[in-house]
Amino acid sequence: MRMQLPRAFSCRRTRTCVALFVAFLSLSASLSAQQSSPEEIVRQAEAANKAGDLPRAIDLYTKLVNRFPNVAAGHANLGVVLAHAGRFDEAAAQYQQALKLDPKNSAVSVDLAILRYRQAHYDEAARILDPVVKAHPEKGQPLLLLADCYMRLGRYHEEIALLDPIYAQDPTDKTVSYLLGRALLSAGDAQRGSAVIDPILRDGTSADADLLIGARLYAANDYHSAALSLQKAMDRNPNLPGGWSLLGRALLDDEDFTGAKAAFHRALQADPNDFDANLYLGGTLRHDGQLDEASPYLARAYKLRPDSPEAAYQMATLAASRGELEQALKYLQPVEEKYPDFQQAHVELATIYQKLHRIDDSRRERQIVAALDEKERDDKSQAPTPAK
């Protein structure tokens, strides 16, 4: 069940803002007879925008904003045409100014969030959408976009909390069931995730069903079977969001490294901001000693999720492989503080400290690794034996 993201800058919203702006202008003081009336400039700007003459539309709306800087609708309209022209940072500045003047304007907030989403600033988009969704918690454009932001950020528990009330209202909604089921599987709750997606799977064979089956098998650590199901899904529909990167991960864990690289490349052709594809392709290339080839992928992954311990670890190992040991520490030390059970970080730190002749620090890290190993053995020994 593919979620269709909303178009970012609708003509409907432009017309709404124009109407509000014209209503304001009709009450404003009269201008010089030599100047075009504000209403006429708005009409010309809207006509230019519809005709695709963005430079003229931008020029006209800029003139209006300069004359009436305290009217939120003017900044919103200018933001729309700047975004259409690909001038995203300037558009964001206009939306932000509109929100300063009209903080409760949810339509402008959503436009700004979609703009940031398209720039791959998912964390900022989520922050903008959060108060909008709290004010309007029903299923709709803001909620679905926020759910997608959470998925891209790996914030699965927040996505689950967001979607659970909507799912409870209507468990037959396939879109919500699909999103919630994938979030549950990604968060490691295979039992409930399977329960949510089972009704979708019973509807018949489809690319979506194959992808969900593959996701469920992957969550159960059956990587070979997961790869087969996911390959089937992508053969049926090569445009399934997230499908290629999940296939790549299944192939990687099944030790089909060539197939995994190919799948990650396909994922990035479809979406250059796919976190998993960037992270795992970069990590695989780094492991193979292809440091220059790995660098842009790992840098992109780290930019997409700077709080990800996996992304920071990969950046650190890349830096260490280049002999940039102090830079590697800058990536790893915050990870050690925030994720003290992330064993790989301690292993890498022990090695780096040894190379820097910081013997006491290296010894401390090795002791932490040994303690984590012992804890893992104890946890396994205390785990219940599966019933025969």
CATH code at position 350: 1.25.40.10
CA angle 111/307/376 to nearest 5° reads: 140
The last residue of one of the domains, among 102, 119, 136, is 119
Task: Answer yes or no: is 133 within a domain.
Answer: no
The last residue of one of the domains, among 97, 119, 141, is 119
Number of domains in the chain: 2
What confidence score (pLDDT) does residue 36 get? 62
Range of the domain at 7: 1-29+36-119
pLDDT < 70 positions in the chain = 1-38, 203-205, 383-388
What confidence score (pLDDT) does residue 40 get? 76
What confidence score (pLDDT) does residue 21 get? 52
Task: Answer yes or no: is 266 within a domain.
Answer: no
Query: Which residues make Cβ contacts (< 8 Å) with residue 165, sequence separation at least 6?
Result: 137
The last residue of one of the domains, among 104, 119, 134, is 119
What confidence score (pLDDT) does residue 316 get? 97
The count of C-alpha atoms lying within 13 angstroms of the C-alpha of 358, restricted to the half-sphere facing its C-beta, is 14
Task: Answer yes or no: is 53 within a domain.
Answer: yes
Task: Answer yes or no: is 282 within a domain.
Answer: no
- Least Cα distance to 316 among 278, 344, 275 occurs for 344
What confidence score (pLDDT) does residue 35 get? 53
What confidence score (pLDDT) does residue 135 get? 93
Decide: 357 and 327 in contact? Cβ < 8 Å: no
DSSP string, 249-286: HHHHHTT-HHHHHHHHHHHHHH-TT-HHHHHHHHHHHH
Task: Answer yes or no: is 333 within a domain.
Answer: yes
What confidence score (pLDDT) does residue 2 get? 37
Task: Answer yes or no: is 162 within a domain.
Answer: no
What confidence score (pLDDT) does residue 17 get? 53
What confidence score (pLDDT) does residue 261 get? 97
Task: Answer yes or no: is 40 within a domain.
Answer: yes
Q: Which two tokens stand for residue 327?
A: 């830079």
Task: Answer yes or no: is 154 within a domain.
Answer: no
What confidence score (pLDDT) does residue 52 get? 84
